Structure 1
Amino acid sequence: MDQPAAAALTRRGIFGLGAAVAVGVCNSRSAAAWEPAPERTLRIYNCLTGEGFDGVYWAEGRPVAEAMARIDWVLRDHRSDDCHRIDLALLNRLSEMQEKLDSQHPFEVLSAFRSQETNRRVKGAATGSLHLQGRAVDLRLQGRRAVDLYRCALSFGDGGAGCYAKRNFVHVDTGPTRRWMGA
């Protein structure tokens, strides 16, 4: 190993690198925030059915079964009443967004899980939409502009995020990293 490389791998060098990563990439969170949360909460309201969920969906290191079942139902395909397991990573992202946005209002959900039939009827929907897998949600938040939600979604650095400012909603998903502005 050459001298510069060996010097970079000293204890101080490794600590400095870790600190730089923590500060540079995660500047909005303390190191303690990366520990598993003892509880995770979510506030959602389905605009199309009038149903909602406001409570703890994660406790003691695992999902709360009753809460997950309720969330799956609230985020179902309202046209067919088809219900699908909503991706836990998506729920975690929504919970984190609510925390960052510091809002007491629920996310107003316009679309979450979609059946194949419903997806075919949605103008502009991708044939392989992540809505079909329970991995995507279209939403808005009272008192916030769509572009503010979009910026919040972008701050996590991964997953898909689309902003539909004229229609005042954002798309958030747990798929590959993608960004777009819609009409």
Structure 2
Amino acid sequence: MTEKSTGFTRRGLLRAFAVTSVVAAPTYANAFGFLRGGGDIRRVKMYSGRTGEHLDLIYWVDGKYIPEALDEITYFMRDWRTHTTKTIDRRTIDIVAATHALLDVSEPYMLLSGYRSPQTNAMLRRRSRAVAKHSLHMKGEAADLRLKDRSVSQIYRAALSCRAGGVGKYTHSDFVHMDCGPVRTWGA
């Protein structure tokens, strides 16, 4: 398996975290801890209300992704309707983990949608105009998430501060969309 570039640099994420800690709410004061100290690790914590599964694992240590952890994340973020998987892009995992670290919560994200098969995406499009025809969910590059302890606005601002992909705010549905596509926003 070949190593795929994530498009992120340690310096770039640190710069985003530095800007966040200066201009964001005091909640983000511990942002630097995500990329330094403690062995330099990245961790992701989620649960699925659809499957009842929980995920709490370190997927990156000292500059290296852990393949088995990435496989677990891919399985966890599968399309629960069709029981199909697609490799979840590392950049999306990094955005999700960085945002969680910025929010300084111990609560895991509730995953509403990770990978979506074309069939599931088409079905959801028939139900809602908010579902993109060429959704990055179908490429394993997006996640829809919520937290009980943080508002949609707080999650949205934390994800925006990463400046690393698309961020959508769905206040009425109580979730934030994060993806590793082009930097863009909607729902603000």
Q: TM-score, normalised by structure 2?
A: 0.77
Q: Which of 117, 141, 150 is matched with 1:144 structurally?
A: 150
* Matching residue of 1:26: 19
Q: Does 1:50 align with 2:56?
A: no
> CA 1:33–1:62 in structure 2 vs 1: closer, same or farther (change >3 Å)?
closer
Counterpart contact for 2:99–2:162, Cα < 8 Å: no
Three-state SS of the structure 1 residue aligned to 2:79 is: coil
Which whole-Å CA distance do the structure 1 matches of 2:102 and 2:132 have between them?
A: 29
| Residue aligning to 2:183 | 177
Distance 1:126 1:40 in 2: 30
Shift of 1:59: 1.9
Q: Distance in 2 between matches of 1:162 and 1:180?
A: 5
**How far apart are residue 157 of structure 1 and its match?**
2.1
- Aligned equivalent of 1:15: none
How far, CA to CA, are the matches of 2:82 and 2:55 in structure 1? 20
Question: Counterpart of 2:75?
Answer: 73
Correspondence 1:104 to 2:106: yes
Question: Could you give the per-residue CA deviations for residues 16-68 of structure 1, whole angstroms, max 9, x where no partner exists?
Answer: xxxxxx69x735266x9489x73211101122111121011112432212211
Name segments (4+ residues, structure 1) moved above 4 Å.
Answer: 32-35
CA root-mean-square deviation = 2.4
What is the Cα deviation at residue 144 of structure 1?
A: 1.1
Question: Which stretches in structure 1 are left out of the alignment for 5+ residues?
Answer: 1-21
Percent identical: 35
Aligned to 1:157: 163
Q: How many corresponding residue pairs? A: 159
User: How far does the alpha carbon of each residue in 1:115-157 deviate from its partner, in whole angstroms, 9 at most, with x for none?
Assistant: 0000001123111100011110011012111111111111122
More relative contact order in 1 or in 2 (CA 8 Å, sep 6+)? 2
Aligned match of 1:90 in 81, 89, 92? Answer: 92
Deviations 1:51-102 (A, max 9, x none): 1210111124322122111111110000111011101011111111111100
